Amino acid sequence: MSALPFTCLDDYDPDALSVARARQFLLDTVQPVTGHERVFVREALGRVLAEDVISPVDVPAHDNSAMDGWAVRFADLSPDGETRLKAIGTAFAGRPLDAKLGAGETARIMTGAMIPPGADCVVIQEVVKVEDDRVVIPPGQQPAQNIRRAGEDLQAGKAAIPAGRRLRPAELGVIASLGIAEVSVRRRLRVALFSTGDELCSLGMPLAAGAVYDSNRYTLWGMLTRLGCEVIDMGVVKDDPAALEAALREAAASSDAIITSGGVSVGEADFVKQLMAQLGEVAFWKIAMKPGKPMAFGKIGQGKESAWLFGLPGNPVAVMVTFYQFAQPALMKLMGIDPLPKLPTFAARCAAPIKKGKGRTEFQRGILFLENGEWCVRPTGHQGSGMLSSMAKADCFIVLEAERGKIEAGELVQVQTFEGLV
Ligand code: AMP
Ligand code: MG
């Protein structure tokens, strides 16, 4: 009996599984790995929080001034004329005023300084006149203005950052603002990777006739490293059943997930299929997309010695597209990221016509530019799935929906940028 829910895809057209359905299937099937470790705040950058960070304190810890100005008692102020108050001292950030404001009194106050007892309003310095020993406050002030309340940012006892969040610089700052030096994060995901193909040549070797340098291992290494995975690089494996079997067994024993490139296209899949059926449970999909139609997914090995398998196609652009669209979200789920980040797309005006057949989603490579305040996108030129330079030139995918046909210049298309700000 099948342990993986592949039967729920039984109704799919064997020549065209949709991108959305394939992605959803992966996300429904994999579950986060277990295992935590405690790390110092800086080492937590990019890691996935294993437990809520509970705030031990209120932030800010006390009512304080949002501006440089004068702390006053609102009840002292005349609603329709100037009020003259007596200055009794200054409150600095980290150096509170050592007195209580009495009737008719005010204190100079700096941004971040504790609101002195008795005061309930801060008047900005720009509107205040100082005449001899009197401070002149104009009318029109509001009660409680320019005061940051204790606990208005974070409250003691509440979750300041939820488990499942991948920590960015902002979260490191929040953790530090609570005085916390160490947090519990999920262990890193271990991902084994190898390339398959008799034609592949490693760097440093002369290129024989008909051979190509193995570039997929480098793009995959880069994408996995950026994702924060521990990468186990197993090199190049020949198109040979014994070599492939040995590599898959070793990878399954040492990793949570295995990523391979090549060997899943129709011409090659037969021996790979048989072998994978022996070693685990793997489905070979034809996804209605370009590039990246063939892909294998499943589980290799049993129990502790098992790993998820993502068998990506061999073409270098197809590797990157299928990694970003399928493997990356599934790996993020395995890493414990929850909720998964949105993959935002936005509309841009396409600067050139694009040939496209209906029935499959296309991920063309594009370059964004601004024209008269509007985002526009230009395809990078030839879009062959072996042309890796198209990925290197591009800064976005132009995502053309399956039901769409030819695109005319000037039409709106959806784009997905490569870089996230944080
Ligand atoms: P395959 O999916 O194995 O049929 O490979 C499809 C195409 O991708 C062939 O032209 C391969 O030479 C090329 N290819 C496969 N693996 C790699 C790799 N690791 N680096 C560069 N090109 C590759
Ligand atoms: Mg091959």
Distance between Cα 97 and ligand 1 center (Å):
72
Confidence label for 70 from pLDDT (cuts 50, 70 and 90): very high
Question: In this predicted structure, what is the pLDDT of residue 239?
Answer: 93
- Are the C-beta atoms of residues 49 and 170 closer than 8 Å to each other? no
Tens digits of residue pLDDT in 388-406 = 999 999 999 999 999 999 9
Helix (H, G, I), strand (E, B) or coil at 245: helix
Find the helix packing angle between 328-335 and 19-29, rounded to 10°.
20
Give the count of alpha carbons within 13 A of 119, CB side only. 34
- Does 167 or 10 have the greater pLDDT score? 167
Residues with CB under 6 A from ligand 1: 195, 197, 199-200, 212, 214-217, 261-263, 265, 268, 313-316, 386
- Does 421 or 347 have the greater pLDDT score? 347
CA 162 – CA 48 distance, rounded (Å): 10
- Residue whose CA is closest, atom 15 of ligand 1? 314
Structure tokens at 38: 């405690």
Question: In this predicted structure, what is the pLDDT of residue 241?
Answer: 93
Confidence label for 270 from pLDDT (cuts 50, 70 and 90): confident
Strands 294-300 and 374-379, how do they pair? unpaired
Question: In this predicted structure, what is the pLDDT of residue 203?
Answer: 94
For the chain, state the CA radius of gyration: 30
Average pLDDT along the chain? 95
* Mean pLDDT along residues 173-183: 97
Helices (H), 71-197: 169-177
Would you say residue 292 has pLDDT above 90?
A: no
At the top level of CATH, the class of 346-417 is mainly beta
- Are the C-beta atoms of residues 65 and 201 closer than 8 Å to each other? no
Q: Which ligand is nearest to the CA of 315?
A: 1
Distance between Cα 17 and ligand 1 center (Å):
22
Tens digits of residue pLDDT in 80-95 = 999 999 999 999 999 9
Helices and strands in the chain, H and E counts: 8, 26
* Mean pLDDT along residues 271-294: 92
Q: Which ligand is nearest to the CA of 293?
A: 1
- Residue whose CA is closest, atom 16 of ligand 1? 314
Site to probe by mutation for ligand 1, drawn from 215, 234, 240, 261 as the one with most ligand atoms within 8 Å of Cβ, is 261
DSSP states of 330-366: HHHHHHT-SSPPP---EEEEESS-B---TTSEEEEEE
* Mean pLDDT along residues 27-52: 97
Distance between Cα 282 and ligand 1 center (Å):
21
Q: E strand or H helix at 368, and its extent?
A: strand 361-371
Distance between Cα 210 and ligand 2 center (Å):
13
Phi (first) and psi of residue 220, to 5 degrees? -65, -40
Question: In this predicted structure, what is the pLDDT of residue 240?
Answer: 93
Structure tokens at 214: 């193995």
Structure tokens at 100: 């209580």
Residues whose Cβ atom is located within 5 A of ion ligand 2: 197, 262-263, 314
Question: In this predicted structure, what is the pLDDT of residue 15?
Answer: 85
Helix (H, G, I), strand (E, B) or coil at 305: helix
CA 404 – CA 350 distance, rounded (Å): 14
Closest to 143 measured CA to CA, from 58, 75, 95? 75
Instruction: Identify residue 20 by its one-letter amino acid code.
Output: A
CA 209 – CA 188 distance, rounded (Å): 40
At the top level of CATH, the class of 37-57+164-186 is alpha beta
At the top level of CATH, the class of 64-148 is mainly beta
Q: How many other CB atoms are there within 10 angstroms of residue 251's CB atom?
A: 25
Helices (H), 115-258: 169-177, 216-227, 241-254
Instruction: Identify residue 156 by its one-letter amino acid code.
Output: A
Instruction: Identify residue 125 by its one-letter amino acid code.
Output: Q
Where are the chain's structural domains? 6-35+188-335, 37-57+164-186, 64-148, 346-417
Confidence label for 27 from pLDDT (cuts 50, 70 and 90): very high
Instruction: Please tell me the total number of residues recorded for the chain in this structure.
Output: 422
Distance between Cα 203 and ligand 1 center (Å):
15
Site to probe by mutation for ligand 1, drawn from 200, 264, 310, 323 as the one with most ligand atoms within 8 Å of Cβ, is 200
Tens digits of residue pLDDT in 234-259 = 999 999 999 999 999 999 999 999 99
Would you say residue 156 has pLDDT above 90?
A: yes
Closest to 235 measured CA to CA, from 279, 212, 201? 201
CA 210 – CA 201 distance, rounded (Å): 10
Q: Which atom of ligand 1 is nearest to the CA of 199?
A: 12
Confidence label for 3 from pLDDT (cuts 50, 70 and 90): confident
Q: Which atom of ligand 1 is nearest to the CA of 196?
A: 16
Q: How many other CB atoms are there within 10 angstroms of residue 414's CB atom?
A: 17
Q: State the first-to-last Cα distance of the chain, in angstroms, to the nearest integer.
A: 44
Tens digits of residue pLDDT in 220-229 = 999 999 999 9
* Fold of the domain spanning 6-35+188-335: Molybdenum Cofactor Biosythetic Enzyme; Chain A (3.40.980)
What share of the chain has pLDDT > 70, as a percent?
99
* Mean pLDDT along residues 281-289: 95
**All residues at 6 or more sequence positions from 164 whose CB lies less than 8 Å from its CB, including other chains:** 48, 49, 336, 337, 338, 339
Tens digits of residue pLDDT in 313-345 = 999 999 999 999 999 999 999 999 999 998 789
